[in-house]
Amino acid sequence: MRWHLAIDAALVLAVAFVALHWWRTLGRLRAARMTGPSPIPTVGVETLDCAFAQGAFGPTPDAEVSFVGRASAEVLGGTSDAESWILAVLAKRARLMFELGTCTGKTAYLWARNSRPDARVVTVTLHPDDVARYAPGQGDTDGEMRAALEESQFTRFLYTGTDVEGKISQIFSDTKALDTSPWAGQCDLVFVDASHAYSYVLNDTRHALALVRPGGLVLWHDYVSPAHCSGVWRALNELARELPLTRVARTSLVAYRRPAA
């Protein structure tokens, strides 16, 4: 009899623990406004730049680029083929591009390969020897930290040894310790794709908005759902109350065009 009572008590405690955990999680999601549909409107890629204008056969030769596809490979931190194409096309008329989150260096390479000869690319990642400098904020998760540090394992990149490497300035820094003032208000294109933890997305968004020139474009990666990259979802949904963000159809990209002066 005592054995049965012990089992019943254990079951009651287990159910209570699960219910408490569910209630707290739901409360956090509600507090962060992470439930429900996205408040950011979805638009076609042709809204980003005239190079994406559609002709009778779809995209025109104005959107032709040198490109490295992803195919079926599981690339760490990689953009999709559609996203990589968009980033490469946008580089064609850019003079200064800034990337927060180098990872494998693919975006930096595509930017350097497709941009004008006098263009410059600045890209930032945490050096693998400096991972202890990663500074999680309140509410950031261990999983987000592990993902960010996994993508910070590189010191050689896709662009290393190529003929466009000279166009790229590689910075090794935690983005929370980064001084972006030398490039403030000068960047034609800024890509936010470093740590996806909420505190880092807020930090890197502040950098991006300070970096972009009037008329320039900011893009964020991995805006998918509250279940995937919840820090990105939460931060951009909050930002959408202040700025006219748009979500690019069939991608995980969110865009903001700074008004021209």
- Each domain of the chain, given as residue ranges in start order, spans 1-31, 39-257
Predicted confidence at residue 8, as pLDDT, reads: 56
Q: Tell me the CATH number for domain 39-257.
A: 3.40.50.150
pLDDT digits (tens), the chain, 261 positions = 555 555 555 454 544 454 445 445 444 444 444 456 899 999 999 999 999 999 999 999 999 999 998 877 777 778 999 999 999 999 999 999 999 999 999 999 999 999 999 999 999 999 999 999 999 999 899 999 999 999 999 999 999 999 999 999 999 999 999 999 999 999 999 999 999 999 999 999 999 999 999 999 999 999 999 988 999 999 999 999 999 999 999 999 999 999 997
Phi-psi domain of 222 (left: phi exceeds 0; alpha: psi -120 through 50; beta: other): left
Burial status of residue 233 (CB atoms within 10 A of its CB: 0-12, 13-18, 19 or more)? buried
Predicted confidence at residue 258, as pLDDT, reads: 98
Burial pattern 131-168, b for ≥16 Cβ within 10 A else e, equals eeebbbeeebeeebbebbeebbebeebbbeeeebbebb
Structure tokens at 149: 């540090």
